[in-house]
Structure 1
């Protein structure tokens, strides 16, 4: 039996997702229907109030009930129309509409007005056929009344689109601030890794020059891949994997192949998908630094990607210390990278993305779930 707190949380979650297009709806159906019902009650009340205050409308009980019945018919017609759009359009198109812009404003402003007019016509015809009731005092009795009705409806739709645009603008600013925080975090963390890697190369030059050369090549590949994606707002999964693979190859030389093995299982058709940069690398670094480096015999890092329900599932798994890793902190700032990832996901995708960390007795599993980024990306995203 759900508690009142559970119900309120379910409603808040549905409200946060209600005004965005989502192909997969995991919120409670009753919560979505409740929000649509609130609109079904508000707009008839608003229009009847206008008629009473600014006109000479005389509304009886039958008229009130009929008006609210019409309100529910229109509200759930709009609800159903948007749901049909979500199911018919590809995920990339839905995300473009969610991001705002002229076409998005036209879509979110025009669809409610169009469905409202169609629903009203259908409703009156159904009343005439099945109940032999004719609505004579309607917004479409005259051109003047119809114009007033459509004008007020359009004002509401445009106001809603403007509010949505402002929300998207604030979200974009929040994303920029979060990305700037990422750059500062990387600037704090990277020198430790860079200096350690250079020191390791230097220590191998005399006793093992071939190994030092190999390590330097991996180090160069890592810098090229990681610094290249650091300048982008969006990169391909393949670019992210190149940085991760270079990092793992470098760490394999430092730790020894007998202590560090890695496997990357990502289908070729997924490698072109877009995602925010530097999401996988901190998870892999955590697996190595906190899971395997402190384990005498080392272990294996496994990275996999799957496409499930139009979402990209990225999984980083290790067989290292697991729960025991919490008892030791290999370096300062443990946990900041995960916090940063969650803030970036929330700023960019909201509830559509998630990061879960599941430590076990042996090893730890980190899983990222991301919506499919819109394709193609901007020119800036394709720069090296």
Structure 2
């Protein structure tokens, strides 16, 4: 990747995370400081322009330099204040602030105003003590100047709240559209899967009635578990695992136990955790259909669950054909399930959730990372 492209990507990633609180910052420090520096240059320039246009202020080189130094002092004080909150507050508290509402809006509007006032006082005091420079014409020299400063700051704060509200509204609409699309797709369960399963049951009724009965029971359990979660905005992890287990048991009867083995290694303590429905099941279906079904000797699917750094990590590991196999690329619709999951994660959690599919020595590993907060945990 060209150096310039890499730098632009790093900057874009930092910009996308700049206006949200994150306890763990994995973006480049230089990119975050560059964004803060841009604010440090913008606001002094804005206020000096207002002073010249409306207040007939006369600028000198010294006053411009002092204004920009003040801008940097305030910008990085605000930057430091937010970072302090990120380090001291809990993940749940940060999630509530990021979610918006009156509490989050007041926090993000109030912190800059308070820090600006405090930073200005400290900066002017330092100039007077260290350099014997008396700052005149400050926003706090008179009631009128202070009211103008507070009014402009309030306008910026209200504008920020409005932009954040519009952004949350767009995300909510995007989430609704994505979930509606998921419901349409899942409601139209693959016809060939239904017909093949029913045909398999029919073919076993005379030669192996007990096996046919077992397969029909698994098929009914699978439909009941899958359709039940379609009506839920969130479901418990144990519900998702029940649907997955019913599907695997059904496929085990169809493919034969010698060709399909599976295990579910999820601690019981995680059973009540909540997550968007039908995230895990498509990954398991991909592992079976694309990884194991086309492999002559079949293989093994393992589902793992754990809490890692305050997030729920779910992994689907198979020893099938792998990502590079021609059989996988030939499958119609390959990639649509993964695309759908990523869109749902982005709409619900932004960059706090992720889905990765990576090749392993045999087969591949699909890994889901989901944040936990009060809205999604019991």
TM-score of the alignment, normalized to the shorter chain, above 0.5: yes
- Corresponding residue of 1:252: 252
200 and 93 in structure 1: CA distance in 2 versus 1, 3 angstrom threshold: farther
**Could you tell me how far apart the structure 2 residues matched to 1:335 and 1:204 are?**
33
Determine if contact 1:306/1:314 at 8 Å carries over to the other structure.
yes
- Corresponding residue of 1:32: 32
Deviations 1:41-80 (A, max 9, x none): 1011111111121114233222211111111111111111
Written as runs of structure 1 = structure 2, the 5 A alignment for 1:290-329 is: 290-323=290-323, 325-328=325-328
Determine if contact 1:14/1:27 at 8 Å carries over to the other structure.
yes
- Corresponding residue of 1:66: 66
- Corresponding residue of 1:375: 374
Determine if contact 1:323/1:362 at 8 Å carries over to the other structure.
no
- Corresponding residue of 1:159: 159
**Could you tell me how far apart the structure 2 residues matched to 1:161 and 1:362 are?**
50
Structure 2 residue ranges without an equivalent (≥5) = none
- Corresponding residue of 1:213: 213
Determine if contact 1:290/1:330 at 8 Å carries over to the other structure.
no
Q: Say which SS state the counterpart of residue 48 (structure 1) adopts.
A: helix
CA RMSD of aligned residues (A): 2.2
**Could you tell me how far apart the structure 1 residues matched to 2:374 and 2:221 are?**
27
Determine if contact 1:97/1:103 at 8 Å carries over to the other structure.
yes
Written as runs of structure 1 = structure 2, the 5 A alignment for 1:75-86 is: 75-86=75-86
Are 1:88 and 2:91 counterparts? no
- Corresponding residue of 1:271: 271
357 and 376 in structure 1: CA distance in 2 versus 1, 3 angstrom threshold: closer
Written as runs of structure 1 = structure 2, the 5 A alignment for 1:219-230 is: 219-230=219-230
Structure 1 residue ranges without an equivalent (≥5) = none
Of residues 158-167 and 214-223 in structure 1, the stretch that sits farther from structure 2 once superposed is 214-223
**Could you tell me how far apart the structure 1 residues matched to 2:326 and 2:177 are?**
30
Determine if contact 1:313/1:369 at 8 Å carries over to the other structure.
yes
Determine if contact 1:321/1:361 at 8 Å carries over to the other structure.
no
295 and 52 in structure 1: CA distance in 2 versus 1, 3 angstrom threshold: same
Determine if contact 1:175/1:344 at 8 Å carries over to the other structure.
yes
How many residues are treated as equivalent by the alignment? 378
17 and 30 in structure 1: CA distance in 2 versus 1, 3 angstrom threshold: same
- Corresponding residue of 2:346: 346
Deviations 1:316-373 (A, max 9, x none): 110111246433567532221112112222222333322222235621111122222x
**Could you tell me how far apart the structure 2 residues matched to 1:293 and 1:66 are?**
71
Written as runs of structure 1 = structure 2, the 5 A alignment for 1:159-178 is: 159-178=159-178
Of residues 1-10 and 171-180 in structure 1, the stretch that sits farther from structure 2 once superposed is 1-10
Determine if contact 2:14/2:27 at 8 Å carries over to the other structure.
yes
Q: Say which SS state the counterpart of residue 188 (structure 2) adopts.
A: helix
203 and 75 in structure 1: CA distance in 2 versus 1, 3 angstrom threshold: same
Written as runs of structure 1 = structure 2, the 5 A alignment for 1:40-55 is: 40-55=40-55
Q: Deviation of residue 377 (structure 1)?
A: 4.5
Of residues 97-106 and 202-211 in structure 1, the stretch that sits farther from structure 2 once superposed is 202-211
**Could you tell me how far apart the structure 2 residues matched to 1:265 and 1:5 are?**
41
